[in-house]
Structure 1
């Protein structure tokens, strides 16, 4: 069925046929777990396609909240900072930092947290990334404090990757950090007063010892921290502290802290997914259909990125543009379809020289 509101030019560029939304939603309801697994693998394939023999790759994992305002399967109460008490979905996403593309996604009910149950999923994402980048590439898996889970860290280590996560600051760890000695300064202010200091903390949890999991505990304390949760442990100075867990025993503490801070790029990417691709919307009452919708939107993002890389190799600065601007200059272009005799002519307004011509 052709949508009655479809633009003739858009229909022509789509091959002459454009289904209405009801048809699209009906097709989404045909997806089951097997189809979604194949679709998710396709998302990962295109998300990894731009990685060409990297020496180091960073796999960032994070979750987000999709508040729901209808009768959706799997919509349950859970953590929801903006709409407290509102049912939601709680998807988990994996991002390659070097290409800013998604290589794994799974829609989950709103009451699903992050813990040992996610270890097999993370292992699968690591294995697919490793198969693409090769055995000699160093891989870091970066997760926020939810990654301070022995099962998750052990799984990452067993699959040949470094984990780098922020530690959960319980009383035992806070006490050890508060009395730690041997802080080394690596940044000073104009008056030669220490601004940033690091220390390796002698601390191990019982479950780490039981699994024989080697964890390096690195603390960074700083002056004038402007964002994030502030943790003060000392009365005689104004340092705030962050603690990171890793199995990288070689890199310097300050390099590890910077490497973790670079993980922040996944948050604007998720915001881009929501604003430009609408992953925060659930079009169906069926859970599998909403999973398929999520994956199709992520696939569209990766395909747009690949198109920019191929078609505009001479303009590498476009790689840093967000999807709304890329859509504006590449996709949302006004035009007029003119039929004359047996010919079809597409007329477009004048555009900059780097814009591709649509045929």
Structure 2
């Protein structure tokens, strides 16, 4: 049916008068579905046990849930509490009749120390293990890397270090273990910014491996992907001793013959479009190790930055970017190249952690409080990933890159589709009812999630 032009348009001349009053209105109706999901997995009681040492009048578990609610609705700082203080769904989500102030939240976070933070770290690990167990994955691929978090000049235990975009700013340098198949962050460890990327990596990897072996058994294959900063003798020996496969980038350092091998190579085998390479059994006498290394180069149409071209330019060949990967996997050149390229998916996860879950926010000057904030940020991220895998699972085709096995919506998309929905909290027949405006797409999405939660 064709509609008239007049029925499509309307004239707006006056200004709407803006008034504020006490109304049982919410801007975040989707929090009710998230609350049901968290209660199904007994999160409030598990948080109560993890935050038992950081109590107070409000209760540590309720304040932790309040931080999760803030991150889910899009708030990034404790000061944003003032703007959501009257929302009934946020108060219902965390089980509070009155929301605390930003100062109260900061004082609570400052109660965390290395000892009191350990139960929260273990809770995050257990929740990820639960999600992995439900999926029954045939293998786990773990990406390990560090990321820079800029801080102020007076923040505790923050130092100037590797920060290419803000060289003079102090920073933290947390280390993360990312599960490639699901996008969960298995573990995060905060560090000062003046350490090498591989600092404390052996102990970190040992904790990750031991936790996975204890929960999933020794039959589940474990694969690790890391950049050249983790190409260390102790790391390689640990992975070999624990029976873990790996693919680690290798730097073209002067004490390794990689540049000479690339210069002398005459026959480069095809790997991918514009990429060629070859395998070489590399002996490192300083470490008493023999490694299988893939040396590859990518043809580019421009002059590469320093250390990429390796001074091997010839006019008839053009410009190339050179790289090398040490591996214990029995893969051919194309498969190994795809596998190491899949490591880039963790950058997307880290970017979402910083952009949507406020991982890059420094709420206090206290190192323990800021470390607790990072754990809560990762916890919020992991829970929303598990929520999608349990309620909105859409399998993806298998890929040699070993990336997400299911379609994962970003938090920004999920916030728009699910969380940020206006509603009114009413009481009908003696029961509280959340009423929203009629929208077929939203009704279908809510019904689908509610059905999966009830199953």
Q: Same fold by TM (over 0.5)?
A: yes
What is the CA-CA distance between 1:186 and the residue it aligns to? 4.5
| 1:205 alignment counterpart | 284
Is residue 355 of structure 1 aligned with residue 438 of structure 2? no
Between 161-170 and 213-222, report the one with greater CA deviation.
Answer: 213-222
Retained in 2: the 8 A contact 1:177–1:201? no
What is the CA-CA distance between 1:129 and the residue it aligns to? 2.3
Match 2:172 to one of 89, 94, 102? 89
Q: Alignment partner of 1:82: what SS?
A: coil
**How big is the alpha-carbon RMSD for the aligned residues of Structure 1 and Structure 2?**
2.7
Distance 2:412 2:187 in 1: 22
Retained in 2: the 8 A contact 1:329–1:355? no
Is residue 299 of structure 1 aligned with residue 384 of structure 2? no
- Structure 1 stretches of 5 or more lacking a match? 189-194
Q: Alignment partner of 1:62: what SS?
A: strand
Distance 1:220 1:183 in 2: 8
Between 72-81 and 230-239, report the one with greater CA deviation.
Answer: 230-239
| 1:24 alignment counterpart | 105
Match 2:191 to one of 108, 126, 134? 108
Distance 1:244 1:142 in 2: 10
What is the CA-CA distance between 1:257 and the residue it aligns to? 1.4
Between 52-61 and 140-149, report the one with greater CA deviation.
Answer: 52-61
Retained in 1: the 8 A contact 2:176–2:188? yes
CA deviation profile, 1:70-128 (whole Å, cap 9, x unmatched): 52111111111221201111111110000011001011111011236321111111222
- Structure 2 stretches of 5 or more lacking a match? 1-56, 59-80, 397-405, 451-455
Structure 2 CA distance for partners of 1:21 and 1:350, relative to 1, 3 Å: farther
| 1:325 alignment counterpart | 413
What is the CA-CA distance between 1:234 and the residue it aligns to? 4.8
Distance 2:416 2:250 in 1: 41
Distance 1:112 1:186 in 2: 35
| 1:64 alignment counterpart | 147
What is the CA-CA distance between 1:301 and the residue it aligns to? 0.9
CA deviation profile, 1:159-218 (whole Å, cap 9, x unmatched): 211121111112332112211355323557xxxxxx432211243222331xxx331111
Between 224-233 and 150-159, report the one with greater CA deviation.
Answer: 224-233
Q: Number of aligned pairs?
A: 347
Distance 1:286 1:9 in 2: 31
Structure 2 CA distance for partners of 1:260 and 1:344, relative to 1, 3 Å: same
| 2:364 alignment counterpart | 284
Structure 2 CA distance for partners of 1:13 and 1:295, relative to 1, 3 Å: closer
Match 1:231 to one of 287, 305, 309? 309
TM-score by length of 2: 0.70
Q: Which runs of 4+ in 1 moved over 4 A?
A: 1-5, 225-229, 315-318, 339-343
Retained in 1: the 8 A contact 2:299–2:321? yes
What is the CA-CA distance between 1:151 and the residue it aligns to? 1.4
Q: How does 1:183-262 map to 2 (within 5 A)?
A: 183-186=268-271, 195-209=274-288, 213-224=289-300, 230-232=308-310, 233-235=312-314, 236-238=316-318, 239-248=320-329, 250-262=330-342
Distance 1:266 1:56 in 2: 17
What is the CA-CA distance between 1:132 and the residue it aligns to? 3.4
Q: Alignment partner of 1:320: what SS?
A: coil
Structure 2 CA distance for partners of 1:116 and 1:12, relative to 1, 3 Å: closer
| 1:346 alignment counterpart | 434
What is the CA-CA distance between 1:225 and the residue it aligns to? 7.5
What is the CA-CA distance between 1:141 and the residue it aligns to? 0.8
Q: Alignment partner of 2:157: what SS?
A: coil
What is the CA-CA distance between 1:137 and the residue it aligns to? 2.5
Between 230-239 and 318-327, report the one with greater CA deviation.
Answer: 230-239
| 1:77 alignment counterpart | 160
TM-score by length of 1: 0.87
Between 338-347 and 80-89, report the one with greater CA deviation.
Answer: 338-347
Retained in 1: the 8 A contact 2:284–2:290? no
Structure 2 CA distance for partners of 1:141 and 1:345, relative to 1, 3 Å: same
CA deviation profile, 1:45-65 (whole Å, cap 9, x unmatched): 222333233222210011111
Per chain length, whose mean CA-contact separation is higher, i.e. which structure has more relative contact order (CA < 8 Å, sep 6+)? 2
